[in-house]
Amino acid sequence: MLLVEIARTSAAVAATAARKAKIELLAGCLRAAGPGEAPFVVAYLSGELPQRQIGVGYASLRDVPPPADEATLTVPEVDAAFTGIGAVAGKGSVARRRELLAALMGRATHEEQDFLIRLLSGELRQGALEGVMAEGIAAAAKVPAAEVRRALMLRGALGPVATAALADGVDGLRAFTLEVGRPIKPMLAAAAPSMEEAYEKAAGEKAGGGEGGEAAVEWKLDGIRAQIHIARPPGGEPRIAVFTRTLDDITGRLPEVVEVLRGLPVRDAVFDGELIALRPGGRPHPFQVTAARTATRGRRDGGGGGGGGDGAERVPLSVFLFDVLHLDGEDLLDRPGSERHAALARAVPEELRMPRLVTADPAEAKAFFDDAVARGHEGVLVKSPGTPYTAGRRGAGWIKVKPRHTLDLVVLAVEWGSGRRQGWLSNLHLGARDPETGGFVMLGKTFKGLTDELLAWQTEKLRALAVREDSWTVHVRPELVVEIAFDGVQRSTRYPGGIALRFARVLRYRPDKSAKEADTIETVRAVAPVFD
């Protein structure tokens, strides 16, 4: 397949707001690509590289050679070029990467150059998000979308799923199974502004609310989501792997966690849970301390903007497991939540399980929430006992409740500070995801809640993400997620979404989340009342 076909599909997808039309365009491109080149098509049209990072920044994209007159670049050639650029290291690597990039760009037409620049700069926003792409794969292969979504949960990547669907249809998709040792995409929670609303939804969930309108209520910790895989060969020591919600392997950083898990009386298992740094009295350390222990790229990147101090890496993490997806040879994904928890209780001692209450009394649920908050935790998760484990689901099965309004938003740009903050990037432009367009809706700006340590960290981080700048504002790739507290939402004619956050303030950065996991504009409108 020629790269120009992907570039034209991208432009066509961006030009239409209709979800069905986007799906049809994606499906047509995937069918033309076939199983062999489908992974590249999926990645590029999702705005990603199979290599993830190749060391090309905005500065390298400023000056490109004149475009080619004729489209000759094939998709495998582009992928090989990206791999070659990413492999360059050592002295003179910057110049060599620019040389290789120029050679690639010199073979690209103007149309292809524009596509490549937007792909490499992170500005390819056309609405081909994971959910739309999954439906595009289903349409291309003429298989049910539910089969694609389940395969995606189990495999964790769209490329292999697209190849299997196009090559072997439903049979190919059903070949993906839960494998101990390979992480799967985690189930997610929706949000509710109050315990009353969350409890009413979960207790009445059609997927199987408990008898008598029961719901389960669990602590929501300010920790790191952890998926834990244990495989014990006959007569041997158990092999243990710990993965983050982004499927990164962090096992090597957590010897004390591995040691705790080693003692569980299981042959093989996959658990879902949280890891958190606790003080001697049981109250949580700041999130940065936990994040510093689990960072995959060093303490600063994982520290949530400020690390956890020089001693953060020595603070042990506590394990709280709340779900089990596989146990001793049996997959439990499709079992109701109540059955999975019963299996969890049989395999895991109480001190390693997330505190939980199952009740039909909303007042008891509210008291449990108040107690969790009083202990210093974020809030609770309210769960329907009948809900199966479904990756990415944000229905009424799992609902998170916090005592304050918070959102996970994406930094779109940042302004240089003045006065005491001169020389630092300070005032953040905040955006919510728009699932319809694949872009972001700006909701306002804030510089509140930023310590000197956070200012220094975000200045370094955001400069690395810059795509263009002037004397006042630096526009960045929309990758950095920040948790924002706010008092409400007000109507606004200043921003395109028609609303703005009231009294927004930074709580922390979320390096454990990708921009795809940021809250949507619909969530913003639903999570808090609108003030005139």
- Residue partners of 144: CB distance under 8 A and separation at least 6: 138, 170
- In the structure encoding, which two tokens stand for residue 449, read together? 């809640």
Contact 196, 401 (CB under 8 A): no
- Residue partners of 501: CB distance under 8 A and separation at least 6: 407, 430, 443, 444, 446, 484, 486, 488, 489, 490, 524
Question: Can you tell me the distance from the alpha carbon of 342 to that of 344, in angstroms, rounded to the nearest whole number?
Answer: 5
- In the structure encoding, which two tokens stand for residue 348, read together? 């895991």
Give long-range contacts, CB 8 A cutoff, 24+ apart: 340-347.
Answer: 340/389, 341/216, 344/271, 347/264, 347/265, 347/266, 347/269
Contact 106, 68 (CB under 8 A): yes
The amino acid occupying position 85 is I
- Residue partners of 507: CB distance under 8 A and separation at least 6: 406, 449, 482, 483, 484, 485
Residue 383: in which H helix or E strand, if any? strand 379-383
22 carries an active-site annotation: no
Of residues 201, 220, 513, 516, which has the active-site annotation? 220
Left if phi > 0, otherwise alpha if psi is -120 to 50, otherwise beta: which for 504?
Answer: beta
Question: Can you tell me the distance from the alpha carbon of 105 to that of 99, in angstroms, rounded to the nearest whole number?
Answer: 10
The set of catalytic residues is: 220
